[in-house]
Every structure is written in C-alpha cells, then in structure tokens.
C-alpha cells in the first residue's frame, strides 16, 4: 500500500510539474507572438487573412486608406520566397525591429522556446550548427547499450542473429531475426484461438478503434511484433490483401476493381523485413514507435468522412507510409547527421536526410527483391500513385518542413476550404494526419504518455552526450544535465481540443 501511495504521489507531482511548465510555455509563446518576436504564421496564411479582413460582412470594402495599406502588405507577403514558412528566425537574425528581441531584453526562457523552434522546425537549423567536418560517422555513445533490452518496449536483446545496429546494411536486409519473424508472422495468420500469435492479432484488431491503445503492451505480448500486428490487421480489416485463392479478404471490392492486388504472402515478407530493419537499440525510434504511428494514423483516417473519400491507392499508402516512416532510424536527428557530415547527409544534400533515407531504403529493396515488392501486380499508374503518396507522407514527417505543411493546410482551410473529392486536398489531409500520428504520444493517458516521454528524452540525451563528446553544439533540450523535461512537452498544449 505504501509503495502504491508513493507511485501515486510521484505521478501527481509529475503531472503538476508538466501542467505548470506548459502554462509557462504557452504564456511565453503568446507573449512572443504579441511582441512580434516570434512569427508562427506563414506569409500566405497572413495574406489570406488580410484579404478576408478587407471585406466587411456586408460585402463593402473597408475605408480606402486602410485598404491600400492592407493591399500593400499582402503584396509584400506574396513576394516572399517562403510562402508557407513563417520567419521564426526573424528575431534571432536581428530583424525584429523595435521588439524586445532586437533590444536584447528577451527573457532567457523565451530564448529556450525560440531555440527549440529553431532547432526542430526550421530547414536552416542543421546547417547553421555545422562547425566543420567531424571525423567518423554519426554514432552514439550509447553503442555499449546497443544490444540491451528496453524494458518498456518489449524488444528482446540481440541474440546474435541480428547484426549490431551500427553495422547493419541499409535497406531491408535478410537477417536471421527476420527469418524467425517471418515464421512467427506466418504462424500468426493461421494460428488457432488461444495461441500467443492469435491473441496478439486480436488485441491489435480490437485496438484499432481505441485512441488510447497501448502499443507498448502489444509489443510486449507479441514479443516485439506490434508493428506487424497493427499493419496486418489494418490491411485485413479493409480487405486489402489477396489470399491464396486469388480473392481479396474482407471483401476488398474497390481494391479488386482498381486492379491493385497485394498478395498476402508478399505483404507478410515485406512487413516482417520492414519491422526487422528498425533498430531495437533505439529507446524511441524503433518498431514500437512505427506501430504506434501506424495505429494512430489508422484511427485518424477512419474517423469522419476521410476514409470513405480515399481511393484504393491512398488507403494502401495510409498503411505503408506510417509503417516505414522511420525505418532504419539511427537514433540521431537530421541536424546531427548534417553537423557530422554523415554519408547519408552527403547523399541527400543535407535535405530531409533521414526521411529521404527511410523512403528510399524500402523502395530500393522492393526494386531489387521481387519477393518484397508489394506493388508488383499493381497497374503502372497505381504503382506510381502509391509510391508518390508514400514518399510525400514520409517526407512530411520532417520537422523542418513542419510550417510548410501547416501553412498549406491552413491556407486551404482558410481559403477555398478542403474538397475531399480532389486528390490534391486528400494528399494534404493525409500528410497532416501522419504528422499528427507521429507526435500523438502526448494525447495518450498521462501514465502512458510519460513512458513515451521517457523513451524519447533518453534518445535525445544520448545524442546530446555524443554532441558533447564531439565538441559540437548540444541541440536544444538534448543536454541531460540541464534539460527540464516537462518544458519539452509543448506538444501537449498544441493537441488540447478547444
């Protein structure tokens, strides 16, 4: 009883700290916006808003002088070369005019908020921190923990069948663990009631409609196969797999009508290899996270009118994209890869380095191994459509492109509005859906959210340890000695419904 009371008190104290930190962060961001120190609106969004305000409810123009000033402002905004990106670096570069940032009176706490926005949400941040070439590839000081088990993820330690994570080839390599996983997956599909495999699939199927579903518990029960379970039952529920008798399970008439046939055996091999290519040594960016994002996207996409408006190619992409969106993630972010001139950063020209790598790895594997090509039987047009949307959705998870997609979405909503009969609008919504799914953890119940928080912060701290060792700037909130964890949870305030 005493132990339970202590746990409850610890949780209550954590929640109070989290709430206080979020109130403080919201206050700082609101004050920065009011003082024009922090511009979070894209130029195009501001232009649309200004044009709307030019016209009164009765349809008459505002007075001529104000209208002229507003139109001149719109012209300036439309002249921007970054129509969808707000200038969050304005105050940092000395362009804040007479605001507090320009006068040097910005409180230290506000600098922390701006530093986080700069590091995480702006394309130029990674380049700005580059001190010059650092010898050696991006490799974490946590390498001595590479084969350890994460108690909360349910992923077993390296048993010798999986190469050490920092020695694994790119793509979807055929490892011993992948072979064992395929046996598990094959058994799961035909398992009878009462088996561990059948129980795991049943839990995943029941959880598809639960926004608070605990993927980490499924990861534990399934022995590390939560991603397989979630993605497979999603495909099965929507009738998107062709069974051995040549028909789509679940009554996938739309899929068959489009000629988009996905053989179940091929999908099993593909999904198992994708799951195996995630690094189990990562505290956060592992297959458990991929399962969580796949689940969240399924939940978001099947609410309201969206799923009924999606075509077969889009429905398939809505399963594939979240499943692969972080495959092979090295446990460090794009800024670190660029700062250390990692080979991946060189290959992808310092632009969306990891996101390009995730998408390319999977499609390269599908191109060289017909046994993994889930689109082999699809018509050429469908194949192109699925690939284009999957790549777009994976690239949308790059936080440097965050404001670009937010700007496009808000401009659509504030302008002509979203029209789900248009493919372009459905693409915007799916890109926003995967972005929301990628950071859905703070919307979970507090106990579960804290587990995910501990995992992501440990991964951030490992990167900070390595940045310190290499003598390069430690990314904002990556210093385990100074970071206030509750203050890092700004996403919680962004996700709170009105």
Q: Do 227 and 287 form a contact (C-beta atoms < 8 A)?
A: yes
- What is the rounded distance in angstroms from the CA atom of residue 293 to the CA atom of residue 310? 19
For residue 55, the cross-strand partners are 61
Active site (catalytic) residues: 285
The count of other CB atoms within 10 Å of the CB of residue 398 is: 20
What is the C-alpha end-to-end distance of the chain, expressed in Å? Answer: 38
- What is the rounded distance in angstroms from the CA atom of residue 216 to the CA atom of residue 444? 12
Q: Could you tell me the CA-to-CA distances from 102 to 38, 86, 90, 115, 362 in Å, in that order?
A: 12, 18, 10, 16, 47
- What is the rounded distance in angstroms from the CA atom of residue 372 to the CA atom of residue 368? 9
Contacts of 239 (CB under 8 A, 6+ apart): 248, 249, 250, 251, 252, 253, 255
Q: Do 160 and 350 form a contact (C-beta atoms < 8 A)?
A: no
CA angle 262, 393, 429 (to 5 degrees): 105
- What is the rounded distance in angstroms from the CA atom of residue 87 to the CA atom of residue 479? 26
């Amino acid at each position: 009883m005493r132990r339970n009371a202590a746990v409850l008190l610890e949780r209550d104290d954590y929640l109070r700290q989290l709430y206080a930190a979020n109130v403080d962060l919201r206050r700082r961001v609101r004050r920065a916006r009011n003082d024009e120190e922090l511009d979070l609106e894209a130029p195009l969004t501001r232009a649309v808003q200004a044009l709307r305000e030019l016209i009164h409810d009765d349809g008459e123009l505002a007075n001529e002088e104000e209208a002229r000033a507003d139109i001149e402002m719109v012209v300036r905004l439309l002249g921007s070369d970054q129509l969808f990106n707000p200038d969050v670096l304005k105050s940092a570069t000395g362009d804040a005019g007479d605001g507090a940032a320009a006068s040097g009176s910005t409180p230290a706490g506000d600098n922390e908020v701006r530093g986080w926005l700069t590091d995480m949400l702006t394309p130029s941040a990674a380049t700005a921190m580059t001190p010059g070439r650092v010898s050696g590839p991006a490799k974490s000081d946590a390498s001595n923990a590479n084969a350890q088990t994460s108690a909360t993820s349910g992923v077993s330690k390296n048993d010798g069948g999986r190469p050490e994570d920092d020695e694994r080839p790119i793509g979807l390599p055929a490892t011993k663990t992948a072979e064992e996983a395929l046996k598990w997956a094959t058994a799961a599909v035909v398992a009878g009631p009462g088996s561990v495999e059948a129980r795991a699939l049943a839990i995943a199927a029941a959880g598809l409609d639960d926004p608070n579903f605990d993927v980490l518990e499924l990861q534990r029960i399934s022995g590390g196969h939560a991603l397989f379970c979630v993605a497979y039952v999603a495909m099965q529920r929507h009738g998107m797999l062709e069974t051995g008798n040549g028909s789509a399970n679940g009554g996938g008439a739309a899929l068959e009508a489009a000629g988009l046939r996905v053989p179940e055996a091929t999908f099993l091999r593909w999904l198992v290899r994708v799951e195996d290519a995630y690094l189990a040594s990562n505290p956060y960016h592992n297959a458990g996270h991929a399962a969580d994002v796949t689940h969240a996207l399924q939940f978001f996409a099947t609410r309201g009118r969206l799923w009924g408006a999606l075509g077969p190619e889009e429905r398939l992409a809505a399963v594939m994209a979240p499943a692969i969106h972080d495959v092979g993630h090295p446990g460090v972010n794009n800024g670190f890869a660029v700062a250390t001139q990692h080979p991946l950063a060189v290959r992808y020209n310092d632009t969306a380095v990891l996101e390009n790598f995730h998408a390319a790895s999977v499609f390269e594997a599908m191109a060289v191994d017909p046994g993994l090509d889930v689109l082999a039987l699809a018509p050429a047009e469908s194949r192109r459509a699925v690939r284009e949307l999957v790549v777009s959705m994976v690239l949308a998870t790059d936080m440097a492109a965050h404001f670009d997609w937010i700007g496009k979405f808000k401009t659509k909503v504030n302008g002509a509005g979203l029209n789900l009969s248009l493919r372009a609008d459905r693409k915007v919504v799916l890109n926003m859906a995967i972005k929301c799914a990628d950071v859905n953890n703070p919307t979970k119940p507090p106990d579960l959210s804290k587990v995910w928080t501990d995992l992501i912060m440990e991964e951030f701290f490992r990167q900070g340890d390595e940045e310190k060792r290499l003598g390069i700037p430690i990314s904002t909130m990556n210093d385990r000695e100074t970071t206030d964890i509750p203050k890092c949870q700004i996403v919680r305030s962004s996700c709170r419904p009105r």
